[in-house]
Structure 1
Amino acid sequence: MRNRGSHGSLAHVASFEEMTSYFGDDDFRRTALELDEPQLTDYDLFTDTRGIKIYRHCKESGLYEYKTYGVLNEIDPLTMIQVYCDYTYRSKWDSYVVELKELTDAALERGSAIYWCVKYPFPLTNRDYVFMRETREISSEKGGHVTHVSLSKDMSLDAYPPKSKYVRVDDFYQAVAVRKHELGTEVFMHYYDNPKGMIPKWIINWVVKTAAPSWLKTLEDACKKYKT
Structure 2
Amino acid sequence: MYARRISNNFIPQQHNLRNVIVENYSENGIQHCSLVIKRQFSGIKNLRNLKDKLEVVVDRAKAYKRLLFSKTSPEKTLQTWAQQFEFVFAHRVRRGQQMICLYSKWWEEKALKEFLKRLRISINRSGKEFVLGALGVSLYDWEQKRIADEEFQTHLDDLKYVNVLKEATMCLSCSKGEHSAINTRICKCGTGGVSNRTYDDWVPFIEKDDLVVWRRPHGEGLFEYKVYGSYHDVSAEDFLNTQVDTDYRKEWDTTAIQLEIGERDLQADSNSDILYWEMQWPRLFVNRDYVFNRRYKVFNDSQTIVIINKTTDYPRFPKYPDKYRVEEYWSCMVIKPYEKINQPGIEFSLTYFDNPGVNIPSSVTTWVAKSAMPDYLAKLRHASKNYLQYCIDKGTGKACELYQNAERERREAEEKNKLEYCSNNRLKVALKDILEDFQIKANVRLFRKSELVSAGM
Aligned equivalents of 1:103 and 1:85: distance in 2?
A: 14
Aligned equivalents of 1:168 and 1:56: distance in 2?
A: 23
Aligned equivalents of 1:60 and 1:208: distance in 2?
A: 16
Match of 1:199 among 360, 368, 380: 360
Aligned equivalents of 2:156 and 2:252: distance in 1?
A: 27
Match of 1:21 among 145, 153, 166: 145
Which runs of structure 2 are paired with 1:80-119 in the superposition (5 Å)? 80-104=239-263, 110=270, 111-119=272-280
Match of 1:145 among 288, 297, 302: 302
Counterpart secondary structure, 2:159: coil
| Structure 1 counterpart of 2:225, one-letter code | Y
CA separation of 1:204 and 1:177: change in aligned 2, threshold 3 A: same
Q: What's the offset of the Cα at 1:73?
A: 2.5
Is 1:29–1:138's contact at 8 Å kept on the other side of the alignment?
A: no
Aligned to 1:49: 208
Match of 1:165 among 322, 325, 333: 322
Q: Which moved more, 1:120-129 or 1:46-55?
A: 46-55
User: Could you list the per-position Cα deviations for residues 63-100 of structure 1 after superposition, in whole angstroms to 9, with x for gaps in the alignment?
Assistant: 11111011122111011000011111111111111011
Q: What's the offset of the Cα at 1:107?
A: 5.8
User: Could you list the per-position Cα deviations for residues 110-146 of structure 1 after superposition, in whole angstroms to 9, with x for gaps in the alignment?
Assistant: 410000000000110000011101110124xxxx531
Aligned equivalents of 1:180 and 1:157: distance in 2?
A: 35
| Structure 1 counterpart of 2:256, one-letter code | V
| Structure 2 counterpart of 1:185, one-letter code | I
Aligned to 1:73: 232
Q: Which moved more, 1:209-218 or 1:186-195?
A: 209-218
Aligned equivalents of 1:205 and 1:60: distance in 2?
A: 15
Structure ID, larger Rg: 2
Aligned equivalents of 2:215 and 2:227: distance in 1?
A: 9
Aligned to 1:188: 349
Counterpart secondary structure, 2:147: coil
Aligned to 2:292: 131
Percentage identity across aligned positions?
Answer: 27
| Structure 2 counterpart of 1:186, one-letter code | E
Aligned equivalents of 2:233 and 2:265: distance in 1?
A: 37
1:175 and 2:332 are equivalent in the alignment: yes
Aligned equivalents of 1:175 and 1:26: distance in 2?
A: 14
Aligned equivalents of 2:266 and 2:204: distance in 1?
A: 37
Counterpart secondary structure, 2:154: helix
Which protein has the bigger helix share?
2
Aligned equivalents of 1:59 and 1:108: distance in 2?
A: 35
Is 1:77–1:178's contact at 8 Å kept on the other side of the alignment?
A: yes
Aligned equivalents of 2:220 and 2:363: distance in 1?
A: 18
Q: TM-score, normalised by structure 2?
A: 0.42
| Structure 1 counterpart of 2:297, one-letter code | R
| Structure 2 counterpart of 1:92, one-letter code | E
Aligned equivalents of 1:194 and 1:108: distance in 2?
A: 31
CA separation of 1:214 and 1:84: change in aligned 2, threshold 3 A: same
Aligned equivalents of 2:265 and 2:373: distance in 1?
A: 32
Match of 2:159 among 35, 40, 48: 35
| Structure 2 counterpart of 1:171, one-letter code | E
Which protein has the bigger strand share?
1
| Structure 2 counterpart of 1:146, one-letter code | Q
Aligned equivalents of 2:152 and 2:252: distance in 1?
A: 27
5+ residue gaps, structure 2, are 1-143, 166-198, 389-399, 401-457
User: Could you list the per-position Cα deviations for residues 176-223 of structure 1 after superposition, in whole angstroms to 9, with x for gaps in the alignment?
Assistant: 111112671111111111111232323322222233222212111101
Structure 1 segments, 4+ long, off by >3 Å, are 106-110
Q: What's the offset of the Cα at 1:108?
A: 7.0
5+ residue gaps, structure 1, are 1-19
Is 2:326–2:355's contact at 8 Å kept on the other side of the alignment?
A: yes
Kindly indicate whether structure 1 or structure 2 has the higher relative contact order, using CA contacts under 8 Å at least 6 residues apart.
Answer: 1
Aligned equivalents of 1:60 and 1:127: distance in 2?
A: 20
Q: What's the offset of the Cα at 1:167?
A: 0.3
Aligned equivalents of 2:214 and 2:260: distance in 1?
A: 29
Report the count of equivalent residues: 204
